[in-house]
A and B are shown apart, each in its own frame.
Chain A
Amino acid sequence: MKLEQLLVDLTSAPGVSGREQRVTSVLVDFLKTGDAKSWVTEVRTDALGNLIMYKAGSAPNPPRIMFAAHTDEIGLIVTEVKDGFLRFAPVGGVDVRVLLAQEVVVHGKRDIPGIIGAKPPHIQDPDESNESVKIEDMLIDTGLPADELKAQVSVGDFVTIRRELIALRNSTFSGKALDDRAGVLALVECLRRLNGFAHEADVYCVATTQEEVGLRGALVSAFGVEPDVGIAVDVTHGSIPGLAEHEAFDLGKGPVLAVGPQVHPKVLGQLKASAEEAGVSYRIEPSPYPGGTDTYAIQMVREGVPTALVSIPLKYMHTSVETVSIKDIQDTGRLLAQFVMDLDSKFVEGLKCFWKS
């Protein structure tokens, strides 16, 4: 199935925050081939590498809707090339404890396989082995001799985790960077569903950069796009043992809509209505502190943007075995497409009518 193949291609492309070009290329190439060519009016990149996939609306003065999903993944950056080994630092919120014994790819002059190691247990002090290894004490071993390594890898080169997408039961997939390539896929699915349908609104599906290091891509792309409504499509925690019922959501039961200060109540209302119209089941997630996703950035651009957050449940966030259900991605794409179809100028004008609240 085409969607699954695109998910494989997206997650295998390396794209640590600030170096997302290879992931963006996958999207650009995809939208140049076969049916997909007609899904968009124009594709362009902005100053910080955000990919703006634009589809024109039919209205003379169309309302502008921006969807944002981030292409960047958390990863590592080389800080030292010494004695045939590499030292590194995190890029984005990496859980250091999952790194030991991980296989990686070092993106130097060419892609070089590596392994994250540290002092072997029998050389450690007895109390050292009771504590997690600190990232400063880890190294990447490439098996290359020191001078060859120096020629291929420099300080500042980026490193990704090596993991192929694994198909599990019940249409679920596990791998790295599903946060937020799953969201990006939902945007593509939305464009696919809008193909051949008329809609008033201009649609800007933005594959944003540098979300994991501070929502930077969303901030500048929203400034450029100037949307009337902005919706980020990201991931939220999937249910696993040890989490309270209200902290996570089951996979396969549809997208999750956030409620809280970063969500405009009328945009949320419309999302719920569109979900019902499209037959998409959804869950509600209380979000007391506005932060942590592109929504937070888009909402405060220029004079402010009415925003909302749609999330795909994902287990084991920020590890290399992030797990999602393809059904949730499809349902999210369906919801977004319906939302676009339902959007008109009257709705957008009403977003600033606070006296009727």
Chain B
Amino acid sequence: MKDLIKKLTAVSAPSGFEDEIREVIKKEIEGYCDEIKVDALGNLIAIRHGGGAKIQLAAHMDEIGMIATDIDEKGFIRFSNVGGVSPHRLYGHRVRFTNGVVGTIGSEKIEDIKKLSLDKLFIDIGAKNREEAREKVSIGDCATYLHGFDDLGKRVVAKSMDDRVGCAVLIEAMRRTKECKNEVYCTFTVQEEVGLRGAATSAFGIDPDVGIAIDVTLTGDTPEAERMAVALGKGAAIKVKDQSLIAHPRVKQFLVDLAEKNGVQYQLEVLTAGGTDSGAIHKTRSGVPSGVISIPCRYVHCPSEMVDLDDVEEAVKLVSLVMSTDVSKALS
């Protein structure tokens, strides 16, 4: 699992620029599904037949990033955000463009750090002037944090755990589940970070009976943290509510019962800000009962996101159980 997470988090693929990560994931799931397709927005949809209810599982492939908007005469690159990037978490960081070019983020002089904003920052790729910069980077090119994967033992840290760890969980669940008792659509979605877009269009096409997203959630277990009951090492989180979704009571109960009956360690989650793909899935067509299985993660949307491998394992178990349990019986 560590290696899979390392491989996935190493790819730079911000929202709208998911080609590379899609190829990597495709290779990982080949042989573990009956059909693979890619839709108009770039969602990767892998189908496992099993009859019965149609379930859409969704983990998003995209990560937050930066997009180049201007290159000045000295070769400094101005940029805008792709998804929820905060200027306070950018200043001084190393970044990498999807074409491999590395740079660092600098800032105009700031009198009041509270007034720091994206338009006061720039990326320095070490170019001497505009012409030299243009050889390496064009306006419209995208970059992500550069920070690599570090193994801390039981816990691992890397950029883009949101939501590469969710993708890893889904991939591993696909590998472990020998027999599906549902028609399972494993969707590796695009553009979640800019508005749950891939989930909306893929759900419209699939028209599932149940939707379950697999994403990260925040924790409240660091010093003077925003109050939250979720903590690293306490198991997979079963979401009750976030800004985008109030989990369908029967889906939430189904997941809780599944966890309890099978000895999966879980914790209940209420997230006061943020959303997931299920926020889009549940509003599709005439409505889809939906829920979320979350992987607790510290420092979400920072360059170093941290997860606990035991929690990851519990999440894999729970996703696999969803695939191999007849959902229609449980939700009727």
Contacts and interface: CB of A to CB of B under 8 A. Distances in A.
A and B touch in the complex (CB under 8 A): yes
Interface in B262-320: 267-270, 272, 282-289
B1 interface: no
Interface string A200-217: 000000000010010011
Chain B at the A interface: SS class = loop
A80 B247 CA distance: 18
B269 A156 contact: yes
A276 B220 CA distance: 59
B227 A136 contact: yes
B241 A220 contact: no
A268 interface: no
B270 A156 contact: yes
Given A18-B246, A91-B241, A155 B227 contact: no
Contact of A80 (B227, B248, B288): B227
A46 B269 contact: no
Interface string B3-19: 00000000000000000
A78 B270 contact: yes
Contacts of A48: 248, 282, 287, 289
Contacts, number: 73
B229 A220 contact: no
21 contacts: A18-B247, A18-B249, A19-B246, A46-B286, A46-B287, A47-B248, A47-B287, A48-B289, A50-B287, A80-B220, A81-B229, A154-B268, A155-B229, A155-B240, A155-B267, A155-B270, A220-B283, A220-B284, A220-B287, A224-B285, A224-B286
Contacts of B268: 154-156
Contacts of A181: none
Given A155-B240, A220-B283, 9 more contacts: A48-B248, A48-B282, A48-B287, A77-B240, A89-B270, A156-B268, A156-B270, A210-B246, A213-B246
A206 to B, nearest CB: 12
A97 B287 CA distance: 34
A210 B290 CA distance: 14
B101 interface: no
Interface of B: 220, 226-229, 240-241, 246-249, 252, 267-270, 272, 282-289
A160 interface: no
A79 B287 contact: no
Contacts of B226: 136
Interface in A30-83: 46-48, 50, 77-81
Interface in A134-186: 136, 154-156
The listed residue with most B CB atoms (<10 A of its CB), out of A18, A155, A220, is A155
What interface size band does chain A fall in? 20 to 34
Given A79-B229, A155-B268, A18 B286 contact: no
A223 interface: yes
Contacts of B252: 156
A325 interface: no
Contacts of A136: 226-227
B196 to A, nearest CB: 12
B268 to A, nearest CB: 4
Contacts of B220: 80
Given A79-B272, A87-B227, A220 B285 contact: yes
**Top-4 shortest CB links A-B:** A18-B246, A156-B240, A220-B287, A224-B286
A17 interface: yes
A210 B287 CA distance: 12
B250 to A, nearest CB: 10
A274 interface: no
Contacts of A80: 220, 227-229
